[in-house]
Structure 1
Amino acid sequence: MRRSKGLSFYEKKKRVSLHMVREIFGMVFGTFAAVLLAAVFVFSVGMRTNVIGVSMEPTLYNGQQILVNRFGYKLTSPKKGDVIVFLPNGNQNAHYYIKRVVALPGETVQIIEGQLYVDGVPEDNETYDKMEDAGIVENEIVLKNDEYFVLGDNRNISEDSRSGNIGPVNRDTIYGKAWFHMGTENEGMGLIQ
């Protein structure tokens, strides 16, 4: 037998260890479980809908997708400033309306010279335009125990609680709180303020 002269290299066979297989399986399983849990959470607690119209600009834009927290109002009630999603008068054939709560049950609402008054106190008038149409609150109204008064942020383009066909929003028709918006061409994703 002849021996070769010079350097010789031996190839070491690579082995897949049981530890490595377990680690890879754990990472794949963990990722799958996290995605599944997130999907179950979003579909059981929330829902997704689209903004229709320009009544909530500049907060929300036409066609923008939002996530709605359906669970939160089972534990608490809507608060002033919340952006809610509701069906007007409970009409199952209507699209979801998205508006801001400006007055709570038991409060008195009136619009005088384009300015919103809640319990006789004017709302901050620098945030929103003066309203050209007072609608049903040209005369003072008192909200019942389960009623909320809502307005769009784009007040002069909004069909909201001022309209006779919507009026104050009954608690039973509120589907949830709009809490997250998807991005648009001009704006990224984020929480709804």
Structure 2
Amino acid sequence: MEKEKKKNEWLEWGKAILIAVILALFLRTFVFATSVVDGESMEPTLEDGETVLFNKFTYLFNEPERGDIVIIKKPLKNYVKRVIGMPEETIAVKNGALYIDGKAYEQAFTSNERLQSTGRFGPIKIPENSYFVMGDNRAISKDSRNGLGFIRESEIIGKSEFVIFPFNEWSLTK
């Protein structure tokens, strides 16, 4: 009797562990994943070495919005950038100010000092099903202006939701 009770206990533990592993794999594959911020291009919002938890599920039903911090899948690495321009908009930067379809756009997520280092470019028309992204630290960011080009919707694999590491810096990303 005692042997059978122990056997049942082990069987229950095995089932619980198997269910937990399957659930974790499902969540990691289809809902949430992590990405490490590489470099200073998203400062002050995100810092080099921080680990962000990103939501893969949100863009299955919604499209990226201006201001979203997104994870971009490229052949050699993933990039963490902010969506600035939407499909079929015309974007330009003059004297540190961003213009979308000819109207000035306030960028509350970065400082005036960093805006001045954005440079001058445009006007550029964003193709259909593509986005224009930039890092918050414009002076050193590799982004749609200088290397990444327009980002196809299929290259955006998730939206950054939380900073989860280092543990003392847990916060929502915005």
TM-score by length of 2: 0.78
Q: Unpaired runs of 5+ in structure 2?
A: 1-10
Q: Which runs of 4+ in 1 moved over 6 A?
A: 25-32
Partner deviation per Cα, 1:24-76 (whole Å, 9 max, x = no partner): x9899779856753453133322222110011122211111112222221221
Structure 2 equivalent of residue 5 of structure 1: none
Give 5+ residue unaligned stretches, structure 1: 1-24
Q: Is the 8 A contact 2:44 2:110 kept in 1?
A: no
Task: Note the aligned Cα RMSD (angstroms).
Answer: 3.0
Preserved contact between residue 78 and residue 101 of structure 1 (Cα < 8 Å)? yes
The yes-or-no answer on 1:123 pairing with 2:134 is no
8 A contact 1:128–1:155 mirrored in 2: no
Report the CA distance shift for 1:80/1:147 in structure 2 as closer, same or farther (over 3 A). same
**How far does the alpha carbon of each residue in 1:60-118 deviate from its partner, in whole angstroms, 9 at most, with x for none?**
1111111222222122111111111113xx4x12x211011111101110000111111
Mark the structure with the bigger radius of gyration: 1
1:152 equivalent in alignment to 2:127: no
Q: In the alignment, what sits opposite 2:122?
A: 139
Residues 163 and 169 in structure 2, CA contact (< 8 A), matched pair in contact too: no
Count of paired positions:
170
The alignment partner of 1:66 has SS state of strand
Could you tell me how far apart the structure 2 residues matched to 1:174 and 1:64 are?
20
In structure 1, the residue matched to 2:5 is: none
Name the structure 2 match of 1:37: 23
Q: Which moved more, 1:103-112 or 1:147-156?
A: 147-156
8 Å Cα contact 1:65/1:181 also seen in 2? yes
Give 1:54-93 correspondences, 5 Å limit. Answer: 54-87=40-73, 90=74, 92-93=75-76
Q: Which amino acid aligns with 2:127?
A: K
- Structure 1 counterpart SS, 2:116: coil
In the TM superposition, what is the alpha-carbon distance from 1:175 to its structure 2 partner?
Answer: 1.6
**Matched position secondary structure for 1:182:** strand
The structure with the largest strand share of the pair is 2
Letter in structure 2 aligned against 1:151? M
